[in-house]
């Protein structure tokens, strides 16, 4: 059972371009990269030549005679004579697990110039030598960052078409509540998705069995695999420190207030400068999302933050559930009680949705005061603050920021809560399930004109 993915549309558009360059698909392990490429090749090419540098390390010798396209093709055919190489771009050469052999990137230039074969590379960012790959193939490849399923892909897996998403986006744009039946259905689906996460294996099993059987064990197994990869691939950094950071993410998100990640809590005597590389490694691996603390809610957002202050969220909320203590995880799964972690779990859900839509993460806290804005995103020449509630409480910090004359770039905001869509006092309320639509709402996708209520005072 193949689950429809957004990378499918990207690959189809790529194939339609006569000047297409080799692609490097990046992302954490077990998110469906290999399966997506295989399905694409099956429906598009006469022949798929798949070279996996983990399963078959013998292929690491294919550049011994040179990096030219024909030299590489000849070397592959010597090692595996069953491969077929029809020309005129009827063959897709798929280099998988390239983190094991980044030297193959040097050949991408020659494949791009030759034009006889299409090439896709894929690798986990866990330990991938991305700088080496980029320096060896600059100007001769395209990058695509892939993640686990977002909520829209989960809806596709459950059999829903684009009509449901169109209805949700239209309601947001028009500031009109969703129909009661739609809201009820979407809320239930979103609770399932938040509990399961977006790892393809887990979602597929849930679809096939219509149950959560084995989901917690699968989540913990994947986290265990990530930990094993730290031990296998990390060089030049303290592996124990990386694992300590990973293990403390759920602990620090569970705090009721001020979820800033504190290195001092990771280990006795830990200093921030000693752990900077460890945090960066997890972020680059696609396992963790980092949310920077802004110095002030003003533009530009990029560069306007304190590098020493940040929050850390898991890249897949389902894996965060798998890292909880057993009784807490069971409460989330069995009783669908996401509130056991107060706001931390909901924040992770929204952070995940924003990152999967391509947004960077920023938050703001006013000194030591209780005023804190969970996320801030850019919309043209304005800043839109987002406050995430575990229920449907009043968004005090959000309203205070909007009302402040000190920050004219902030004219309206978003409250994400257990509620229907509504608009009051320059605050757009929306259910958590709509988080994946925020980027489309703010960028005006599927709309020829900007939203009139983007302007202050409207």
Q: Is the peptide bond before 65 cis (omega within 30 degrees of 0)?
A: no
For residue 149, what pLDDT is reported? 98
Write the pLDDT tens digit of every residue in 264-286. 989 888 888 889 999 999 998 89
Which helix (H) or strand (E) segment is 297 a member of? none
DSSP readout, 203-257? Answer: HHHHHHHSS-TTHHHHHHHHHHHHHHHHHHH--SS-HHHHHHHHHHHHHHHTSSS
pLDDT at res. 134: 63
Q: What's residue 440's pLDDT?
A: 94
300 cis-preceded (ω within 30 degrees of 0): yes
Q: Measure CA 329 to chain center.
A: 22
Distance CA 341, CA 255 (A): 8
What the block records as the tokens of 287 is: 């396992």
Give the count of alpha carbons within 13 A of 3, CB side only.
28
The pLDDT of residue 129 is 57
> What local confidence, expressed as pLDDT, does residue 163 receive?
96
> Residue 445: what pLDDT?
46
Per-residue pLDDT at 447 = 40
* Type and span of the H or E element at 182: helix 180-196
The confidence score (pLDDT) of residue 138 equals 75
**Angle subtended at Cα 450 by Cα 143 and Cα 379, rounded to the nearest 5 degrees:** 55
Question: Is the distance from CB of 322 to CB of 329 less than 8 angstroms?
Answer: yes
Q: What is the per-residue pLDDT across 302-333, written as a single tens digit (0 to 9) for each?
A: 989 999 999 999 999 999 999 988 777 777 77
Share of the chain above pLDDT 70, in %: 92
Average pLDDT in the chain: 90
pLDDT at res. 64: 94
Q: Which of 56-65, 167-176, 389-398 has the lowest mean pLDDT?
A: 389-398
User: What residues contact 431, with CB distance under 8 A and at least 6 apart?
Assistant: 178, 183, 186, 187, 190, 416, 417, 418, 419, 420, 421
pTM of the model: 0.93
Asked if residue 428 lies in contact with residue 412, where contact means CB atoms within 8 angstroms, the answer is yes
* Between 455 and 416, the higher pLDDT residue: 416
- Cα separation, 219 vs 322, in Å, equals 5
Helices within 287-393 (DSSP H only): 317-323, 326-335, 344-356
User: In the structure encoding, which two tokens stand for residue 152, read together?
Assistant: 């829209």
Q: DSSP 3-state assignment of 138?
A: coil
β-bridge pairing 118-124 and 91-96? parallel
Query: What Rg do the C-alpha atoms of the chain give, in angstroms?
Result: 23
pLDDT beyond 90 at 43: yes
- DSSP class of 64: T
Is pLDDT at 121 greater than 70 in this prediction?
yes
Residue 457 above 50 pLDDT? no
Cα 2 to Cα 15: distance, rounded to the nearest angstrom:
20
Q: Using DSSP, state whether 285 is helix, strand or coil.
A: coil
Strand partners, 145: 26
Q: Which pLDDT tens digit goes with each residue over 349-374?
A: 999 999 999 999 999 998 877 899 99
- Residue at token pair 């695999």: 225
- Reported as a single tens digit per residue, the pLDDT across 223-279 is 999 999 888 888 778 899 999 999 999 989 988 777 899 999 898 888 888 899 999
Cβ distance 389 to 345 under 8 Å?
A: no
Strand, coil or helix: 143: strand
Q: Are strands 375-379 and 382-388 parallel, antiparallel or unpaired?
A: antiparallel
Contact in structure between 116 and 69 (CB atoms under 8 Å): yes
Q: What pLDDT does 283 receive? A: 92
Q: In what order do the strands lie in the sheet with 422-424?
A: 375-379, 382-388, 413-417, 427-431, 422-424
Asked if residue 98 has pLDDT above 70, the reply is yes
CA-nearest of 118, 96, 92 to 26 is 96
Exposure b/e, 91-102, CB count within 10 A at least 16 = b: bbbbbbbbbbbb
Higher pLDDT, 79 or 390: 79
pLDDT at 123 over 60: yes
> 355 near 314, Cβ under 8 Å?
no
What are 291's strand-pairing partners?
A: 311, 361
Q: 342 pLDDT exceeds 70? A: no
Q: How confident is the model at residue 132 (pLDDT cuts 50, 70, 90)?
A: low
pLDDT at 449 over 60: no
4 band by pLDDT with thresholds 50, 70 and 90: very high
* pLDDT at position 456 over 50: no
Determine the 3-state secondary structure of 47 from DSSP. strand
Q: What length is written for the chain? A: 458
Give strand pairing partners of 25. Answer: 122, 144
What percent of the chain is modeled with pLDDT above 90?
74
Q: How confident is the model at residue 135 (pLDDT cuts 50, 70, 90)?
A: low
pLDDT at 234: 83
What pLDDT does 446 receive?
A: 42
User: pLDDT: is 358 or 344 the higher one?
Assistant: 358
The answer to whether residues 219 and 321 touch, using CB atoms and an 8 Å cutoff, is yes
Distance CA 411, CA 405 (A): 10
On the question of pLDDT at 22 being above 80, the answer is yes
**Per-residue pLDDT at 184:** 96
- CA dist 323 and 342 (Å) reads 16
């Amino acid at each position: 059972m193949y689950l429809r993915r957004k990378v499918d549309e990207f690959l189809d558009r790529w194939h339609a371009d006569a000047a297409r360059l080799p692609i490097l698909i990046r992302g954490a392990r077990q998110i469906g990269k290999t399966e997506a490429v295989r399905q694409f090749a099956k429906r598009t090419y006469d022949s798929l030549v798949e070279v996996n540098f983990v399963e078959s390390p013998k292929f690491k010798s294919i550049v011994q005679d040179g990096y030219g396209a024909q030299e590489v093709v000849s070397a592959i055919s010597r090692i595996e004579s069953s491969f077929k190489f029809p020309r005129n771009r009827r063959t897709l050469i798929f280099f998988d697990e390239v983190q094991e052999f980044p030297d193959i990137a040097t050949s991408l230039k020659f494949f791009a110039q030759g034009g006889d074969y299409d090439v896709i590379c894929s690798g986990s960012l866990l330990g991938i030598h991305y700088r080496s790959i980029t320096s060896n193939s600059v100007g001769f490849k395209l990058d695509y960052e892939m993640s686990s399923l977002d909520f829209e892909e989960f809806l596709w897996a459950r059999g829903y078409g684009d009509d449901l998403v169109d209805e949700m986006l239209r309601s947001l744009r028009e500031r009109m509540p969703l129909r009661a039946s739609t809201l009820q259905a979407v809320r239930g689906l979103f609770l399932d998705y938040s509990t399961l996460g977006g790892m393809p294996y887990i979602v597929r099993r849930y679809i096939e069995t219509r149950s959560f059987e084995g989901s917690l064990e699968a989540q913990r197994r994947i986290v265990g695999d990530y930990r094993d990869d730290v031990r296998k691939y990390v060089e030049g950094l303290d592996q124990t420190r990386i694992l300590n950071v990973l293990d403390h993410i759920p602990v620090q998100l569970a705090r009721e207030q001020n979820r800033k990640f504190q290195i001092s809590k990771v280990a006795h005597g830990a200093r921030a400068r000693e752990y900077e590389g460890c945090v960066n490694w997890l972020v680059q691996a696609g396992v963790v999302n980092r949310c920077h603390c802004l110095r002030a809610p003003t533009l530009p957002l990029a560069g306007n933050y304190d590098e020493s202050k940040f929050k850390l969220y898991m890249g897949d909320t389902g894996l965060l559930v798998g890292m909880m203590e057993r009784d807490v995880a069971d409460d989330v799964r069995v009783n669908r009680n996401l509130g056991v972690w107060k706001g931390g779990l909901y924040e992770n859900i929204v952070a995940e949705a924003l990152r999967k839509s391509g947004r960077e993460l920023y938050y703001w806290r006013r000194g030591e005061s209780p005023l804190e804005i969970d996320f801030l995103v850019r919309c043209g020449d304005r800043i839109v603050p987002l406050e995430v509630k575990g229920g449907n409480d009043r968004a005090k910090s959000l309203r205070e920021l909007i009302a402040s004359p000190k920050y004219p770039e902030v004219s309206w905001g978003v409250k994400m809560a257990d509620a229907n869509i509504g608009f009051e006092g320059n605050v757009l309320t929306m259910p958590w399930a709509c988080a994946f639509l925020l980027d489309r709402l703010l960028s005006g996708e599927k709309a020829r004109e900007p939203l009139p209520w983007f302007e202050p005072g409207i």
